[in-house]
Amino acid sequence: MAIKKEVKKEVETEKEREREIERVIREAFCPDEAVCVGSDVCNNPQAAEELLELCAYAALDGVSLVAIYIPTGEVVAVAFNKIQVPADDSTEKSFFERFAEERCTQESARSLINFMANVDERCNLFEKYEYPFRYNVDCSLEIMFLATLREHRRHGLGTLLCKESIRLAAKLRNGVVHGMTPEDLGAKYSNLLPQELPKTYPKICQAILTSKASQKVGAALDFTVDLRVSYEEFVFDGKTYADRIGPLSPCCELVSKMVHAI
């Protein structure tokens, strides 16, 4: 009986952790993140659920991180990270484009994910690091979604998660990426398709920083700004992203940083 109780307790703990992570996305990322506001995901609960599925696919790569508040043991901040590799040819669609086409039913979710793909396409970071740096960059770790619960903001958790993501990318030089299976994510996501991980390791970290706050984090961690794109260029349901976001965050930044061995 004791063994059965321990097993049940472990399953309940895993389910609670899953709920805590989902809470950060639902209550912190979707309502407050600039592009969620620009694409009106913030007012569409079903679109938020589709972004949670995108997070689940990213989690399969085994490189996402959470911050836990020690006094309560709760997850209060997350960094969903994705391993990216260059397309085999110019006609191959990116992971984000495929997800938007195949998995999204909500136009607001599709708009947000297509925004990500659009910005990534404007500056091919794999090609950038070939010349003039002459690095063979065949893999990157993308800090995809970064969020902190409102009551735990202004304590440096976003900076900490980005810093640890860079450290994780560096550690992967010493071994292959060990991903997760859909079953590891629980029953809700057990129908996801398993992902084939690259047989290489990240040479750079990259991110699309969408607010002044996250852009300050990027600057503090010495990310290079490779591209700035105005929110005036993106439209959803008759309004530009800038119309909804307002003047405090007028543009996003595509940033990158070389990963060095530790």
Tell me the CATH number at 56: 3.40.630.30
Three-class secondary structure of residue 239 per DSSP: strand
Q: Domain of 216?
A: 2-258
CA distance 120 to 144: 11
Three-class secondary structure of residue 165 per DSSP: helix
For the stretch 179-227, pLDDT in tens is: 788 888 888 888 888 888 888 899 999 999 999 999 999 999 999 999 9
pLDDT number for residue 177: 65
The single-letter DSSP state of residue 36 is: H
pLDDT number for residue 89: 74
* The CA-based dihedral angle spanning residues 241, 244, 247, 252, taken in that order and rounded to the nearest 10 degrees: -30
Mean of all residue pLDDT scores within the chain:
90
The token pair at 84 is: 């990216």
The token pair at 179 is: 């991903």
pLDDT band for position 250 (cuts 50, 70, 90): very high
CA distance 174 to 32: 37
pLDDT number for residue 92: 81
Mean pLDDT of 151-172: 96
Residue 251 has pLDDT above 90, yes or no: yes
Query: By CB neighbour count within 10 A (0-12 exposed, 13-18 middle, 19+ buried), where does 221 fall?
Result: middle
What letters, b where the CB count within 10 A reaches 16 and e where it falls short, cover 74-102? bbbbbbbbbbbbeeeeeeeebbbbebbee
Mean pLDDT of 244-254: 97
What is the total count of domains within the chain?
1
The token pair at 201 is: 């390791």
pLDDT number for residue 8: 35
Residue 119 has pLDDT above 70, yes or no: yes
Q: Which residue has the higher pLDDT, 8 or 98?
A: 98
Strand order across the 74-84 sheet: 65-69, 74-84, 140-148, 204-209, 251-258, 224-230
Q: What's the pTM?
A: 0.91
Q: Which residue has the higher pLDDT, 228 or 199?
A: 228
